[in-house]
Amino acid sequence: MTSPPLTTSISPDRGQSALSELSQETFALTRRLFLQLARRPSTLVAGVLQPLIWLTLFGALFANAPEGLLPGGMSYGRFLGAGVIVFTAFSGALNAGLPVMFDREFGFLNRLLVAPLRSRSSIVLASVLYITVISLLQSLAIMVTAAGLGYGWPGGAGLLLVLVTLLLLVFAVTALSLGLAFALPGHIELIAVIFVANLPLLFASTALAPLSFMPSWMEWLASLNPLTFAIEPIRAAYRGPLDLSEVLLEAPYGDITGFGCLAVLVVLTAGLFLLIRPLLNRKLT
Amino acid sequence: MALIELRQLSKTYGDVTALDGLDLDVPEACLYGLLGPNGAGKTTTLRILATLLAPDRGRVHIDGVDALKDPRAVRQRLGYVAQEVAIDKILTGRELLQLQGDLFHLPKRLRDQRIDELIDCLSMNEWVDRRCGTYSGGMRRRLDLAAGLLHRPKLLVLDEPTVGLDIESRAAIWDLLRQLVREGTGVLLSSHYLEEVEALADRMAIIDDGCVIAEGTPEGLKQRLGGDRVTLRIREFSDADEAERVSALLQPLEGVQQVVVNRAQGFSLNLVIDGDPVVETMRRCLDAEGLPVFAMAQSRPSLDDVYLQATGRTLMDAELAVAGQRDVKQERRQSMR
């Protein structure tokens, strides 16, 4: 070992602005997640493959269903498309907590916590950024495939609606998953919750069948399920001329318009972030 | 002003008391050793210094900053090298250092220059661009040291830095720590290796059951203890009766401070005596009784004797006593957020 100065003092406060420090730490944390992904892409690949299989097989299952069975005379493939897009984003975001949980378990989080982070929200923010990009990429892959299968493509305004809806859902589910990652004792428990939550939430939504196909108890479930409030606007975006004041969901408790669906998602997202805030504050200070 | 000033620190985990009114002063630019068996409270103390843990009671001042009021200012001044090194196996060493640099908000050019310096200094050139998952224990520890030093902390805190390392890595780390102190950085390390503290530390504290029971320079502590240590064996294996008889014989001699029959070592006798002339007195006394001497060894007090004097047990006994009680699961939960 040579002996150039190891410790010529760097003044601790270099007077950088809070914002530049915050973006430096958030960018670095996000970069780490993407480096991990680039070197271990299997989750991303599986996350695209699974919904593609859903779309192809499930779509084919009802290909010969009698015309006019679905509201608005939609083909089943087109009906299913919106469901699979939402499901993809949902199950991607549900995994948001996993990297954080591993960092907790293996002590990497402690390495982050001894650093003078400007705000520890940057740890959460990095996860949200990462999962958002992944989920949107996966959803895009599904949309392109659906278009290739002849299930249509939303127009300009429709595309914007799809984006906004997916973002809201991804934020909400990411918040939930991050909350779980700090509340549960280990990754085994987190994976168990993800596993249990995933499919039932899909089935008890309007992803695979419209409300009118369901017995009334399930109609209730489906019209309380957050996924439904994301699926219906996207389905509307695919259906063509966009009108958010149109009733999209005839729930047993009343009619919900497009604006209504988005409002539910906004409230859900805000509520979940408020709900996990005290937990994160406790665990990260 | 002391670099570290801890006052009346207390911390309990459930019904386990980890720290019980610990006081500690570490001067600037000093290599300070915390010695104590596993479970004595060393790691808890260091985790509090690193702002990972808040004490139930007590004051923590580092470089004049109140760590409980302004933890961020402490984090900027302090480098922490934990015991269980958590690294991201998929990143390369260099990427990990870049991440660390960004978390300490080093400007990019300074960050990369600093990384290159440390890579040279810690001889990491050959492997720093390989993924961390492939590193040996020594490499990991060096990478972690580099990460701890990246922002040029005023104080480096290391938790058992050389545990389980090969001799070469250990020597390299010792050299580095000495260099740091020469350059004015304060270094605080915990260890349960007596030799490590003896070889490295300018000052030291012995911790047991969550408080400091002895403090000073290693030399000073040994001198304060006074007297020479003598291990005496009448025969290779004496029996208990004979050992007790000889003990009773030597005890009243002038200059003999203490005689202990050591059952664990074939009933040899451990004595504390005033100095060389007493050895002669003992020999004459044994001769007169017609007793043989199989072996007699004389030594100055060691840190182990200091420890024994302070706690009433040897460090090794203390280690064995807690080895059975350690609850690895519990410890893991404590360090988890």
Q: Could you report how far apart the first and last alpha carbons of chain A are, in Å? A: 37
Unique residue bearing structure tokens 């044994």: B286
CA B148 to chain CA mean position, Å: 19
pLDDT at A2: 42
Q: Which of residues 34-53 of B touch A (CB under 8 A)?
A: 50-52
Q: Which residues pair with B81 in a beta bridge?
A: B158
Q: Which of residues 115-174 of B touch A (CB under 8 A)?
A: 117-118, 120-123, 147, 149, 151-154, 172
Minimal CA separation from A96 to chain B, in Å: 17
Parallel/antiparallel/unpaired status of strands B186-191 and B155-159: parallel
pLDDT at A102: 93
How many CA atoms are closer than 13 Å to the CA of B291, on its beta-carbon side? 22
For residues B85 and B97, give the distance between their C-alpha atoms in angstroms, rounded to a whole number.
Answer: 14
Query: Which residues, other chains included, contact B324 with Cβ-Cβ below 8 Å and sequence gap of 6+?
Result: none
Helix (H, G, I), strand (E, B) or coil at A68: coil
A65-69, B7-11, B13-17, B32-36: the lowest-pLDDT one: A65-69
ipTM of the complex: 0.87
Domains of chain B, earliest start first: 4-222+318-335 (3.40.50.300), 227-300 (3.30.70.100)
Q: For residue range B143-165, what is the model confidence (pLDDT) as tens digits?
A: 999 999 999 999 999 999 988 88
CA A184 to chain CA mean position, Å: 20
- Closest partner residue to A35 among B91, B103, B117, by Cβ? B91
Query: Which residues, other chains included, contact B45 with Cβ-Cβ below 8 Å and sequence gap of 6+?
Result: B6, B9, B19, B22, B24, B34, B190, B207
Q: Please, what is the average pLDDT of chain B?
A: 88
- Do A50 and A85 contact (CB within 8 A), yes or no? no
More confident residue, B225 or B96: B96
More confident residue, B132 or B289: B132
- Exposed / middle / buried, residue A150 (Cβ in 10 Å: 0-12, 13-18, 19+): exposed
pLDDT tops 70 at residue B332: no
The tokens of B185 are what?
Answer: 């950085």
CB atoms within 10 A of CB A173: 29
Unique residue bearing structure tokens 């805190």: B157
- Chain-chain contact of A5 with B183 (C-beta, under 8 angstroms): yes
In chain B, which residue's Cα lies nearest the Cα of A112?
A: B103
For residues A1 and A67, give the distance between their C-alpha atoms in angstroms, rounded to a whole number.
Answer: 79
The tokens of A48 are what?
Answer: 């695209």
For residues B132 and B118, give the distance between their C-alpha atoms in angstroms, rounded to a whole number.
Answer: 17
More confident residue, B276 or B104: B104
pLDDT at A1: 42
The tokens of B237 are what?
Answer: 């294996």
- Do A248 and A232 contact (CB within 8 A), yes or no? yes
Helix (H, G, I), strand (E, B) or coil at B165: coil
- Chain-chain contact of B105 with A25 (C-beta, under 8 angstroms): yes
For residues B148 and B157, give the distance between their C-alpha atoms in angstroms, rounded to a whole number.
Answer: 9
For residues B133 and B143, give the distance between their C-alpha atoms in angstroms, rounded to a whole number.
Answer: 12
- Do B182 and B190 contact (CB within 8 A), yes or no? no
Q: For residue range A41-52, what is the model confidence (pLDDT) as tens digits?
A: 998 899 889 888
In chain A, which residue's Cα lies nearest the Cα of B99?
A: A28
pLDDT at A152: 86
pLDDT at B185: 94
For residues B194 and B306, give the distance between their C-alpha atoms in angstroms, rounded to a whole number.
Answer: 11
For residues A117 and A126, give the distance between their C-alpha atoms in angstroms, rounded to a whole number.
Answer: 13
Minimal CA separation from B219 to chain A, in Å: 28
> Where are any strands of DSSP class E within A106-253?
247-251
- Chain-chain contact of A24 with B102 (C-beta, under 8 angstroms): yes
- Chain-chain contact of B337 with A116 (C-beta, under 8 angstroms): no
The tokens of A112 are what?
Answer: 């982050």
Question: What distances in angstroms separate CA B14 from CA B178, B266, B334, one per listed residue?
Answer: 39, 42, 10
For residues A49 and A44, give the distance between their C-alpha atoms in angstroms, rounded to a whole number.
Answer: 9
Domain boundaries, chain A: 22-283
Query: Which residues, other chains included, contact B118 with Cβ-Cβ below 8 Å and sequence gap of 6+?
Result: A6, B97, B124, B146, B149, B150
- Chain-chain contact of A10 with B110 (C-beta, under 8 angstroms): yes
pLDDT at A3: 45
pLDDT tops 90 at residue B276: no
% of chain B beyond a pLDDT of 70: 94
For residues B4 and B26, give the distance between their C-alpha atoms in angstroms, rounded to a whole number.
Answer: 5
- What number is the average pLDDT over the span B190-209? 90
Q: For residue range B248-257, what is the model confidence (pLDDT) as tens digits?
A: 888 888 888 8
The tokens of A102 are what?
Answer: 């591993």
Contacts of A12 in chain B (CB under 8 A): 73, 76-77
In chain B, which residue's Cα lies nearest the Cα of A109?
A: B337
Closest to B141 measured CA to CA, from B205, B75, B206, B189: B189
pLDDT tops 90 at residue B84: no
pLDDT at B298: 87
More confident residue, B238 or A153: A153
- Write the DSSP symbol of residue A57: I
- Do A56 and A221 contact (CB within 8 A), yes or no? no
Query: In residues, how long is chain A?
Result: 285
The tokens of B64 are what?
Answer: 């004049």
Mutate to test the interface with A, among B49, B70, B105 (most CBs of A within 10 A): B105
- Closest partner residue to A2 among B103, B120, B337, by Cβ? B120
pLDDT tops 60 at residue B241: yes
Instruction: Give the phi and the psi of residue B14 in degrees, each rounded to 5.
Output: 60, -120
DSSP class per residue in A186-201: SHHHHHHHHHHHHHHH
pLDDT along chain A (285 residues), means of 10: 48 71 96 95 89 88 80 83 93 93 91 92 94 93 90 89 96 96 95 93 93 94 96 91 88 94 97 93 82
Minimal CA separation from B187 to chain A, in Å: 12
The tokens of B223 are what?
Answer: 């001198």
Unique residue bearing structure tokens 């192809």: A56
How many CA atoms are closer than 13 Å to the CA of B308, on its beta-carbon side? 14
The tokens of A98 are what?
Answer: 């996993």
Query: Quick one: pLDDT band at residue B326, thresholds 50, 70, 90?
Result: low
